[in-house]
Structure 1
C-alpha cells in the first residue's frame, strides 16, 4: 500500500494526465486550494479541475520537490511550477506547499497553499 509521500510523488509526476492524477484519490478524496477558492471532491471532479488548469497552462508540471515531513499517513512538501501561459504570453511561476493525508493507500485530502499574487498571471490582461 503506497504511503503519503509515495502518493504525493505519483500525483506530482502524473499531473499532466488528469485521469491518472485523479485516480490516486479516494472516492471521497478532496483536492483543495483554499487561497484561490478551488475545491474538488471525488476523482471525477478532481480530474475536471486538473483538466481546466491544463487548458490554461498546457506545459504545467511540478519540479524542485522538497519534502519536509514524511510519515506513512501524512506528508508535507513544497514544489514549483514554471510554465508559459499561451493566452497571455506570460510565465506562470509558482511555489506550492502541499499537505497530503493518505488513508488506505489513497489520497484522502491534498490541501495546497500558493502565492495568490503569482496566480494572478492566469487572468487575462
Structure 2
C-alpha cells in the first residue's frame, strides 16, 4: 500500500496525464485549492472523474504545466506536506505562470483522501488575466 509521500510523488509526476493522476485518489478523495475562489467558482474537485476533468481543464489552459523543485517538509505514513513549483506559459495571455504551491496530502488505504494545495492567487491572477 502506498504511503503519503509515494502518493504525492506519483501525483506530481503524473500531472500531465489527468487519468493517471486522478486514479491515485479514493472514490471520495478531494483535490482542494481553497484560496483559488478569488479567481473563479472552481476551487477543486471530489472523486476521480471530477478530478480528472479538473486537471484536464488546467492543462487546456496551461499545456506545459508540470511540477518541479519538490521539497518535502513533513513526512509521515499517512500525511505529507511539501512545496513544489510550476513555471509555464499561459497561451491565451502570453504570460508565464510562475507559482509555488504548498500541498498537504492525507493518505488512506493506499489512496489520496485529500490533497489541499495553497498558492499565490495574485501571481495566478496576473498570469491568467489579459492586460487591458
TM-score interval for Structure 1 and Structure 2 normalised by the shorter chain: over 0.9
**In the alignment, what sits opposite 1:109?**
114
**In the alignment, what sits opposite 1:122?**
128
In 2, Cα distance between equivalents of 1:98 and 1:27: 20
Per-residue Cα deviation, 1:67-89 (whole angstroms, up to 9, x for no partner): 00011100000000000111111
Deviating 4+ runs (over 3 angstroms): none
In 2, Cα distance between equivalents of 1:97 and 1:65: 10
Q: CA offset at residue 96 of structure 1?
A: 0.1
RMSD: 0.7
**In the alignment, what sits opposite 1:21?**
21
Per-residue Cα deviation, 1:65-123 (whole angstroms, up to 9, x for no partner): 00000111000000000001111110000000000000000000000000000111113
Equivalences for residues 13-52 of structure 1 within 5 A: 13-37=13-37, 38-52=43-57
Q: SS at the partner of 1:96?
A: strand
**Gapped runs of 5+ residues in structure 2?**
38-42
**In the alignment, what sits opposite 2:40?**
none
In 2, Cα distance between equivalents of 1:100 and 1:117: 24
In 2, Cα distance between equivalents of 1:112 and 1:84: 21
